[in-house]
Chain A
Amino acid sequence: MKNFEIQGLNFKFLVVYVLCSVLCALPFKAFPLTAEEVVKKSQEAFFYQGKDSKARVLMKLISKSGQERVRELTMLRKNYGASGGEQKYFMYFYQPVDVKDMTFMVYKYPAKDDDRWLFVPAINMVRRIAAQDKSSSFVGSDFTYEDVSGRDIEDDNHTLTKEEKLDAKDCYVIKSAPKAQDVDYAYKLSWIDKGTFLPLKEEYYDKKGELYKVFSADEIKDVKGFPTITKRAMKNLSSGHRTEVTYVKADYNIGIEDSLFSERFLKQPPKKWIE
């Protein structure tokens, strides 16, 4: 009886021990991520870091012949809900001079069209603008609106094609093919850093399967604990046009008020946010 009890105790102990080991091991065990999970984590790291963010952005639009045009803006973002959820964007333009003081606001919704407003200072007017085409160029650059604020995960079929090193960093290589014909590319390959989940490179292929556009993350810095792409470029191989983007300043969790995203502040942006 005593023996049995000891045996029973031993048996229970064994069961608990095994269960504990399994439970404790779970977080550390590298179950392979699905392609969707990689893309989700990448979006979180790329478009949703922090509760909010602020960046002073310098865009250089460079033509094939080398002629440069400059767009300089402050971009403020606030998240509403979890990663992949609603966001609001507020942009204030410093350059070029003909759009100085222009502001632009986006309410971004998952799985439906965004709301967009533009403030035109010369006639002191705030207007909604039609925003159906997500693949439209952002201010004439090689980046699209989706490149700036992200694309719905459900809009593409994602597959993990391989895992390889890029610039000595382990990467997932994800192929994303749009389910609908709503963008210019047939599919996109993304090299997503396993450490930071930031995209280090993206290749865009046209309907003939030819590579025509390349994104590269050229500098990554740590800002308040968030790895941030501070230099990036998009090159259009067929037109020879390219856009280089530098985050002159970046910050996170700065307490942007909900009221910022309003007609009042589109017309008169608070100085503290655009300095």
Chain B
Amino acid sequence: MSKIRSTEQRAQNTDRGSRTSQCQLPVIWCLSILLSVFFSLTAEAADVSLHGFVQGNYSVNTDTSNPDSGDFKWGEERFQIKLEASKGSARLFLKTNIFYDHINELDGVELKEGFVDFAAEKWDARIGRQIITWGLGDLIFINDIYPKDYEAFFSGRPLEYLKKGVDALKIGLYPAFASLELIVIPIFEPNNFPDPKRFHMFDPMPTVINRREVEPSVKIDNTEIALRAYRDVAGFDGSIYFYRGFHRQPSMLPDSMTMPVKITLFYPDLSVYGASLQGRALDGVLSLEAGYYDSRQDRDGKDPMIPNSQTKYLIGYQRQLWEDFTIGFQYFGEYMHDYSEYRKNLPSGFPGEKRLHDLIALRLTQFLKHQTLRLSFFSFYSPTEDDYLLNPEIKYNFSDYLWAAAGANIFGGGEEWNQFGQMDKNDNIYTQIRYEF
């Protein structure tokens, strides 16, 4: 998981309301373009399927009230429509959400996914808003450089909301020697971090409230490119990855290091080179993944406001111990390069990061009652920082159409600026209930 660095979140969510209403126009715009592209390609009637769900999702504090004195981390009803239509080698897919958010008292429409697929024998293409998942980690992302919604994760929303859609073109090529995926993202999409009105988080410059966020503008030079090549390697699934774009977590640029009055939040340049292997070993599934994060705007590590280059690595092992019980273990490390330069240039009063930050993740899953009841436990613990996150959950399928889940997010340990340590006061319990059709 990329480090949730305190501070930056603050500005990011300040205009949540206006963002939501703004996004309704592009939704309609995207929808109409996708529909017209699809139907112009398919003159005759297509195979159409329509599904969706109605969902209630609520999360309440168990420790203290929110910074804005509210007691709910999340509270919404949501209606999702999933439309699929296909004709010949083309397919249209739309996943649209209509929701009412009780905390901000606003409603909105979200285009979660909306794309058109074309498939030929040796290649395929997908254009539009899509969710892309790369890499092998379970809630740990190295080569998955696509945008995440960490607020969704910490607020007890269903896990699928952790992944955000990106507006992209994806081309798949399938020559005999390997399969290739090329992703082109013209419009930058940042990660979404917890709303500072609802989440207590560390801020190194809390007095500076004048903040401005600058996202990379839409131009050819800023187009993000990602490439993955994958094939079988001696019975293992092997992948190599490349990405050229931006950090999805903003860095702070104060107008003055001694007496700042204004902070600009921006997204520094980033390239990632990585590889992964996954296969059957030791009576289970073994996963290995690594990536080199080339922080292109701070290659010598002298700028303390921009992340230094890093090497990230992951070892994962998953095994079924008895019927319907699976255990998953992961060890993740991120190693900072040019650490001495970072220390030398770190302004006094700023908490310093360690050279190595690591995490141990454990997931236990037990299914019962013909797999209608699922008990799960997920935890992160950092040996270097001594902070943790615990997430127990119970989910029951009342029928093929109706399920409900309840769980808790418990944070703590470490220092007030650590990844989970800073979340200490944000413990919450949540419920999700969904009727699908």
Which among B283, B403, B436 is the interface contact of A132 at CB below 8 angstroms?
Answer: B283
Which among A100, A115, A241 is the interface contact of B280 at CB below 8 angstroms?
Answer: A115
Determine if B320 and A137 form an interchain contact, defined as CB atoms under 8 angstroms apart: no
Which among B172, B323, B436 is the interface contact of A135 at CB below 8 angstroms?
Answer: B323
Q: Within the assembled complex, what's the spacing in Å between the Cα atoms of A85 and B397?
A: 38
A97 surroundings in chain B (CB, below 8 A):
51, 53, 400-401, 436-437
A132 surroundings in chain B (CB, below 8 A):
283-284, 319-320
Determine if B119 and A268 form an interchain contact, defined as CB atoms under 8 angstroms apart: yes
Of B101-109, B126-134, B215-223, B336-344, the segment with at least 4 beta carbons within 8 Å of chain A is B126-134
Determine if A137 and B370 form an interchain contact, defined as CB atoms under 8 angstroms apart: yes
**Whose C-beta in chain A lies nearest to the C-beta of B163?**
A123
Is A70 interfacial (CB-CB < 8 Å)?
yes
Is A262 interfacial (CB-CB < 8 Å)?
yes
Is B322 interfacial (CB-CB < 8 Å)?
yes
**Whose C-beta in chain B lies nearest to the C-beta of A95?**
B400
Determine if A137 and B319 form an interchain contact, defined as CB atoms under 8 angstroms apart: no
Which among A123, A259, A264 is the interface contact of B133 at CB below 8 angstroms?
Answer: A123
Is B191 interfacial (CB-CB < 8 Å)?
no
Contact with B along A137-166 (1 / 0, CB 8 A): 101110000000000000000000000000
**Whose C-beta in chain A lies nearest to the C-beta of B399?**
A69
Interface size classification for chain A: 35 or more
Residue of B132, B237, B280, B371 most packed against chain A (CB within 10 A): B280
A100 surroundings in chain B (CB, below 8 A):
51
8 A Cβ contacts from A41-75 to B: 61, 63, 67, 69-70
Is B285 interfacial (CB-CB < 8 Å)?
yes
Q: Within the assembled complex, what's the spacing in Å between the Cα atoms of A268 and B397?
A: 27
Is A98 interfacial (CB-CB < 8 Å)?
yes
Is A263 interfacial (CB-CB < 8 Å)?
yes
Is B318 interfacial (CB-CB < 8 Å)?
yes
Smallest Cβ distance from B277 to chain A, in angstroms? 11
Q: Within the assembled complex, what's the spacing in Å between the Cα atoms of A124 and B237?
A: 17
A263 surroundings in chain B (CB, below 8 A):
179, 230, 237
Which among B53, B279, B322, B399 is the interface contact of A67 at CB below 8 angstroms?
Answer: B399
Is B15 interfacial (CB-CB < 8 Å)?
no
Is A24 interfacial (CB-CB < 8 Å)?
no
Smallest Cβ distance from B166 to chain A, in angstroms? 11
Residue of B279, B367, B370 most packed against chain A (CB within 10 A): B370
Is A130 interfacial (CB-CB < 8 Å)?
yes
Q: Within the assembled complex, what's the spacing in Å between the Cα atoms of A67 and B179?
A: 44
Q: Within the assembled complex, what's the spacing in Å between the Cα atoms of A125 and B91?
A: 19
Q: Within the assembled complex, what's the spacing in Å between the Cα atoms of A135 and B324?
A: 10
A96 surroundings in chain B (CB, below 8 A):
400-401, 436
A98 surroundings in chain B (CB, below 8 A):
397, 400, 403, 436
Is B382 interfacial (CB-CB < 8 Å)?
no
B285 surroundings in chain A (CB, below 8 A):
128-130
Smallest Cβ distance from B360 to chain A, in angstroms? 19
B237 surroundings in chain A (CB, below 8 A):
128, 263
A139 surroundings in chain B (CB, below 8 A):
371
Is B330 interfacial (CB-CB < 8 Å)?
no
Provided the pairs A130-B320, A131-B320, A140-B370 are in contact, do residues A113 and B283 lie with their beta carbons within 8 angstroms? yes
Is A168 interfacial (CB-CB < 8 Å)?
no
Contact with B along A108-141 (1 / 0, CB 8 A): 0000010100000011110011111101110111
Determine if B323 and A124 form an interchain contact, defined as CB atoms under 8 angstroms apart: no
8 A Cβ contacts from B271-312 to A: 278-280, 283-285
Determine if A264 and B323 form an interchain contact, defined as CB atoms under 8 angstroms apart: no
A136 surroundings in chain B (CB, below 8 A):
320, 323-324
Determine if B132 and A271 form an interchain contact, defined as CB atoms under 8 angstroms apart: no
Contact with A along B154-168 (1 / 0, CB 8 A): 000001101100000
Which among B117, B131, B322, B372 is the interface contact of A124 at CB below 8 angstroms?
Answer: B131
Smallest Cβ distance from A105 to chain B, in angstroms? 12
Determine if A130 and B326 form an interchain contact, defined as CB atoms under 8 angstroms apart: yes
Q: Within the assembled complex, what's the spacing in Å between the Cα atoms of A271 and B91?
A: 10
Q: Could you jot down 12 A-B contacts, CB within 8 Å? A: A67-B399, A97-B436, A98-B397, A113-B280, A122-B160, A124-B131, A128-B237, A130-B285, A131-B320, A140-B372, A264-B179, A268-B91
Extra 11 A-B pairs, beta carbons < 8 Å, given A70-B400, A123-B163: A69-B372, A96-B400, A97-B437, A98-B400, A115-B235, A115-B279, A124-B163, A128-B279, A136-B323, A241-B370, A270-B119
